[in-house]
Structure 1
Amino acid sequence: MKYLLMMQVDRGVLDSLTAEQNEAIGTGHGAFMDAITASGEFILTQALGDPAESSVIRASGGVPQVQDGPFLEAKEFLGGFYLVDVDSKERALELAAMIPDSKIDGLAIEVRPVMFSKAADF
């Protein structure tokens, strides 16, 4: 079963971290990727840019229009994700708890099953 482990980021929380905490997050992600690669559960990961750099395509009168945005009121945003292939939801939850962000107050990992998947041909 494939699951998306989505890292919910709060810019205020990240900005308040010490240099040591930031280094621990980077090192922790490296160790996490090594572990899930070795176990055969890793598919891919992506880190996403800040929402301030985003654009939104939204229909206006049935015609797609480009808008700046999304300008959400929420403090949290999707900062990145891991796509994993695991035997159960319980294992996906175990893996999510291993991501260093899950140990920092104010950050979160959302675990969501993938309903459809098609890989790009490279």
Structure 2
Amino acid sequence: MRYTLLLHYPEMTSDDLGPEVEQAGRQAFAAYADALTAAGVLLSAEVLQPSASSTTVRRRDGRLQIQDGPFADTKDQLGGSFVIDVPDLDAALGWAQQAPPVDWGAVEVRPGSVFHADGAWRPNT
């Protein structure tokens, strides 16, 4: 079953972190990605650019709104994701517990759906 691990954590610049902490974070994420790969469960991973570079699109009262910046007013931002293919939610939770942001942010585990050539979205099972 396919799950996306959404990584939420306080957004900080390289200057905020300092070179040693930033390097340690990079190593932690690389080790985590290596562990997922070695277990054969990693389908994809993505690191997102800072939330200030985002654009939000929504429709309210029939009017399209395009706004610079993130959609949520929060200290924690979505920083990236790992898409994994594991047997069940318990396995996904096991991997989420090992994700580096679990110590300083949060890891949201969300089941995914797949878009098929016939145009239908179907939950993974």
- Is TM-score (shorter-chain normalized) higher than 0.5? yes
User: 1:80 and 2:77 equivalent?
Assistant: no
Contact 1:25/1:101 (8 A) holds in 2: no
Partner amino acid, structure 2, of 1:86 = V
Segments of 5+ residues of structure 2 without an aligned counterpart are 117-125
- Paired-residue identity, %: 34
Name the SS for the 1:110 alignment partner.
Answer: strand
**Counterparts of 1:101 and 1:117, CA distance in 2:** 26
Can you list the C-alpha shifts for 1:7-41, whole angstroms capped at 9, x where unaligned? 102125x8764543322221121111112112110
CA 1:18–1:97: 2 relative to 1, 3 Å: farther
Aligned position for 1:117: 114
How many pairs are equivalent? 117
**Counterparts of 2:71 and 2:63, CA distance in 1:** 21
Contact 2:51/2:69 (8 A) holds in 1: yes
CA 1:52–1:110: 2 relative to 1, 3 Å: same
The alpha-carbon deviation at position 48 of structure 1 amounts to 0.9
Partner amino acid, structure 1, of 2:115 = K
Name the SS for the 2:97 alignment partner.
Answer: helix
Which among 103, 108, 111 is matched to residue 106 of structure 2? 108
Aligned position for 1:56: 56
RMSD: 2.5
Moved more, 35-44 or 58-67: 58-67
Partner amino acid, structure 1, of 2:39 = S
User: 1:93 and 2:69 equivalent?
Assistant: no
CA 1:21–1:58: 2 relative to 1, 3 Å: same
Aligned position for 2:21: 21
Can you list the C-alpha shifts for 1:85-119, whole angstroms capped at 9, x where unaligned? 01121111111111122223xx11111111x1238
Q: Runs of at least 4 residues of structure 1 off by over 4 A?
A: 14-18
Contact 2:56/2:71 (8 A) holds in 1: no
